Amino acid sequence: MNLTPGWLLLLSVSAGVWSVPLDRNADHREAKAEEENVDTGLYYDRYLREVIEVLETDPHFREKLQTANTEDIKNGRLSKELDLVGHHVRTRLDELKRQEVSRLRMLLKAKLDSTNTQSLQMDHASLLKQFEHLDPHNQNTFEAKDLELLITTATKDLENYDAERHEEFKRYEMLKEHERREYLKGLDQEKREREEKRMQELKDKHRQHPKVNAPGSVAQLREVWEETDGLDPQEFNPKTFFKLHDTNEDGVLDEQELEALFTKELEKVYNAKNEEDDMMEMEEERLRMREHVMKNVDANEDRLVTLEEFLKSTEKKEFSNPKEWETLETSPLYTEEELQRFEVDLRDREEELKRKAENLRQQQELLKERGKALEAQRREYQQAVLEMSQRQKEQQAADGQPPAGPNGELQFQPAVQKVEAEHPAEAQNNLPAEPPQNLPIHT
C-alpha cells in the first residue's frame, strides 16, 4: 500500500529499521516495500495495517487522507469521513473488527488460563475495555469511533515506544553487569584478576575509535554525501541531499530514512566481528542519534521531517558548530542503587520461577504415579478376565457341554464338521427319512 505522510505518522517507528548504507542504484520500490513491512511493535500492528489498507481502497477516503494534515489525523477528525465510504469497505472493516475481537478474546483466555483464573463466567465485554484501540461495547461493526480510537491510541503508543526501548536497553545493560559480577564471583582470585584485566582491556579498546560527528550536523551529512552517495563534499547541497535520501519519494524523511543516515558514524564505533563491540548498544546509539535530530529538526513533532524543516535546520548555529557527540560509553546508564534494585527483583523472579518449576515437577510425578496405577489396574482386569474365561471352559468340559465362544456362544467340535465335509453322502444317509407323500387313505 502507498502510505501518505499522515499514515506514516502512525507507522513510523524505531524498531526493525534497515541499517545498511544506502545504495543509490538500488530500486526505490524495494526500499519502499522494506519500509512498509517494518513492524510498529504494537500488539495490534496487523489490525492497524489491515484497516489502513482497506480504507485506502475507497477513492473518497483516500482523497481526504491525502489532503488531511497531521493534526486532523492525530485528533481523530478524519474518522468522521468513515460514514461516506463504500458499502464493501464497511463490510470488510466489520469483518476485520470481528477478527480482532476474536483474537483479543483468545489472548484474554490464554492469560487467564496461565494465571489459573477461573473463566467459566468470563465477562468478555468488561475485559475488552482494557484494549483502547477499539470500542468494546460494539463488537460486531466498525464505526467512526473505532477509527478514532485506533488512530489516537496508535499515536499515543508510538510516542511512548522510544521511552520503552530505552528502559528495555537499560535492563539489558544491568543484566549484563549482573552476569559479569556473578561470573567473577565463581573464580578464584588469580583467575578473577586475570579476567578483570582482560575485560578492562576490551573496554579500553572499544573506546579507541575515530571521532563521531554529531548526527544531523554539516560534517556528518557531508560524510554521507561523499562516502555513501559518492559526491564531491565541496558541492554539498542540502536540498539535493534531502531528495536523495527520501527513498520512497513521499516528500518527507521518516524515522527509518533518518536512521539509515547514521550507519557510517556507527561503523566507526561498532563492528560485529569485534568481541568488545555490542550490537545491542549500536542500535541504542542509533536511536539516540535519531532522537537528537528529530528534536532539532522536527518543528511540529509529527515524527516526520519535511523539506522545509530540513532546510531551516541547516540555517541554525548547531548545524555548523554542534556540540561534540558523546557516545554511550562516556556516561553511565544506571546507578549502583538501580542495579541493586534490579538484582533484588531478578532474584525474586528467579525464586518464583523455581517455585513454579517445582510445582510442575510435582504435578508431573503425580501424573506418572497415576499412570502406573492405571496400568496396574488394567493388567489386573485383563488377568481376571482370562481366569474367568478359563474357569468357564473347565466347567463346560466337566458338564459335557460344547465350549463357549468369547461372547458365550456355543462352539461345536471341528472334527464333526470335518467328517461331514469329507463324506457328504454318509452324512446325507444319516439324516432322518422324510415322511411318505400322497399315500392312499383307507376307510
Instruction: Quick: pLDDT tens for 53-105.
Output: 898 899 888 888 777 766 666 666 777 788 888 899 999 999 999 999 888 88
What the block records as the C-alpha cell of 339 is 542495579
206, 329 in Cβ contact below 8 A? yes
In which band, very low, low, confident or very high, does the pLDDT at 313 lie, cut at 50, 70 and 90? very high
Report which of residues 13 and 213 the model is more confident about: 213
Give 162-191 pLDDT, tens digit per residue. Answer: 888 999 999 999 999 999 999 999 999 999
Q: Which residues contact 82 (CB under 8 A, 6 or more apart)?
A: 61, 90, 142, 143, 144, 147
Per-residue pLDDT at 412 = 54
For the ranges 73-82, 114-123, 315-324, the lowest mean pLDDT is seen at 114-123
Residue % of the chain over a pLDDT of 70? 76
Asked if residue 33 has pLDDT above 70, the reply is: no
76, 148 in Cβ contact below 8 A? yes
Beta bridge pairs of residue 253: 305
3, 270 in Cβ contact below 8 A? no
Report which of residues 294 and 64 the model is more confident about: 294
> Which contacts of 58-62 are long-range, i.e. CB under 8 A and separated by 24 or more positions?
58/85, 58/86, 58/89, 60/84, 60/85, 60/86, 61/85, 61/89
Tell me what the mean pLDDT of segment 243-265 comes to.
92
Per-residue pLDDT at 437 = 52
